[in-house]
Amino acid sequence: MIKVLFVCTGNICRSPTADGVFRKLVRDAGLEDHISVDSCGLSAYHVGELPDPRSREMAKSRGIDLTDIRSRKIRRDDYYEFDYVLAMDDGHFHDMRRQAPASHHDRIEMFLDYHPTMAGQSVPDPYYGGANGFVHVFDMIEEASSSLLSHIREKHGI
């Protein structure tokens, strides 16, 4: 089983959106027995909460339900358990590399490194922006998720 973890600040906007989008791609490809998906945040600000209503609304408009996702804080065990630990921005990436055991740094990557044209960039935080920010972020996440799934299928032969 390949395990994928998406990480942002509070686990209410970017990472749960990526979680929902990627889970749908995995399900549509019939790979649920081969790939598991989760998300979390670096902070505990929103533990137990649903994703931001704007994230849920945006996802719902694209046929994705985020209501089964609850915010949680990253755990030390996540660095051991997950094969892909994907940071939504460079701040998350650097914080996770400081927290994770050195032997697992290779599992921590920038999520947009899987985007066809945005490698090395951060997914902007739509929390303080308007509705268009959520649309823009969702589009980025969809493209990167599709490329990520192709990468995993190719690398792991599934």
**Which stretches does DSSP call E strand in 108-154?**
108-110
Indicate which residue of 70, 113, 125, 153 is catalytic: 125
> Reduced to 3 states, what is the DSSP secondary structure of residue 86?
strand
- pLDDT for 131 equals 65
Checking if the pLDDT of 132 tops 90, the result is: no
14 counts as catalytic:
yes
Q: What's the number of domains the chain is made of?
A: 1
State the residue for tokens 């995993």: 152
Q: Exposed, middle or buried: residue 49 (CB in 10 Å: 0-12, 13-18, 19+)?
A: middle
- Asked whether residue 138 carries a pLDDT value surpassing 70, the answer given is yes
Per-residue pLDDT of 85-102, as tens digits, reads 999 999 999 999 999 999
**Global pTM?**
0.96
Domain of residue 48, residue span: 2-156
Q: Is 77 tagged catalytic?
A: no
What's 151's domain CATH number? 3.40.50.2300
pLDDT tens for each residue of 25-60:
999 999 999 999 999 999 988 999 999 999 999 999
Q: What's the farthest any 2 CA atoms get from each other in the chain?
A: 41
Active site residue 125: yes
